[in-house]
Structure 1
Amino acid sequence: MDKLIKSISYIFHPLLMPIAGVAFYFAKSPRFIPFDIISAKLISLFILTVILPILLYLLLKITGRVNSIRLETARQRVLPLMLNCIILLLVIKRITTPNQSIEIYFFFVGILISNMACLCLAMFGFKASIHMIGVTGLAMYFVALSIHYSININGTLALMALIIGAVATSRLHYKAHNAIELVIGAFIGFIPQLILVPYWL
């Protein structure tokens, strides 16, 4: 059971949430999108939002800027979050332009806003849960897509509710966060996606 709870934090790692949202969009979008474009987008996004942050983390660890992947203090989170904001700006400018896919564009704008909010809190010494930011932002995006395309994804939403609960349980179990940090993280992930919905729905 201990290993299962621990694995939840890795399976639903925040770095994987953006690519999960894009993959879900391509799976549910009624538009015809050539497979070559889909694969090119997913590969480029995977490199920028997963591989690049991992490489930057290794660089920060080698140089002594961070101690572990958990980023246990708010101070250690500042530089990684700054770098992630730069990566997200690059994605928004080069990969997910609004004329190509407005749904994905505003999804990443929401992720950027969440990252900036988390960065601001870290600068003031508050450690919001990045895991909760990721899963709640993704869940809100799923809700918006279901309304946008008038599709029934009740099963997916029920699964996301279970995932959110599992992630929160995992973070509490390992004392990575307290309840307040989890709740604040959930709001930081959920609210930006909700606010941006009228711009593309």
Structure 2
Amino acid sequence: MDKVLKSISYIFHPLIMPLLGVIFYFLKSPIHIPFEIIQAKLVSLFILTVVLPILLYFLLKTLGQVKSIYLETTNERIYPLILNCIVILIVIYRIITPSQIIELYYFFIGILISSMSCLGLAILKFKASIHMTAISGVFMFFVALSIHFSININSTLALVTIIIGAVATSRLHLKAHTSKELIMGLFIGVIPQLILVSYWL
């Protein structure tokens, strides 16, 4: 059971959540988008939101700014979150612009707000769960998409709800977070996406 719960934290890592949200959008969107554009967006996002953060993590570890991938202390979280905010800004200005795909644009604006909130709390010595922030933000985006496109994705939403519970259980079992930190992470993920819905729904 220990290995299963530990693997959940890796499988549903915050790094892959933005890309997961974008893939889901392209799969469910009734708007015709040429495959070449979809492919280019996905490759660019994979490089920027997955590969680049991993490389930056190893750079920070080499420089002694972080000790492990778990970012156990609030001080260890500051530089990775700053770099993540910069990466998301690049995505917003270069990859997903409002004139192209407005739904994804505001999805990433929400991610940026959530990341900045986690950064602010880390500076204040509070360690909100980034895992919960990421997965709950994606969940809220899925809910908004189901309303926006009038599609039935109840099974997907049920699955993501189960995943949220599994991630929370995993983080508690590993003693990575307290219940308060998990709940704060949940709200930090959901609220920005919920507020921004009014700009594109």
When normalised by structure 2's length, the TM-score is 0.99
Structure 1 residues 133-186: Cα deviation after superposition (integer angstroms, max 9, x where no partner): 000000000000000000000000000110000000000000000000000000
Match of 2:60 in 1: 60
**Distance across 2 between alignment mates of 1:125 and 1:45:** 30
* Stretches of structure 2 lacking an aligned partner (at least 5 in a row): none
Match of 1:141 in 2: 141
* Stretches of structure 1 lacking an aligned partner (at least 5 in a row): none
Cα root mean square deviation, aligned? 0.4
* Secondary structure of 1:33 counterpart: coil
Displacement of 1:26: 0.1
Q: Confirm whether residue 73 of structure 1 aligns to residue 73 of structure 2.
A: yes
Equivalent positions of 1:1-201 (< 5 A) are 1-201=1-201
Displacement of 1:61: 0.3
* Secondary structure of 1:71 counterpart: coil
Displacement of 1:2: 1.5
Displacement of 1:128: 0.3
Structure 1 residues 93-131: Cα deviation after superposition (integer angstroms, max 9, x where no partner): 000000100000000000000000000000000000000
Q: Which amino acid aligns with 1:45?
A: L
Q: Which amino acid aligns with 1:53?
A: P
Q: Identity over aligned residues, as a percent?
A: 69
**Distance across 2 between alignment mates of 1:177 and 1:194:** 24
Deviation beyond 2 Å, 4+ runs, structure 1: none
Q: Which amino acid aligns with 1:131?
A: H
When normalised by structure 1's length, the TM-score is 0.99
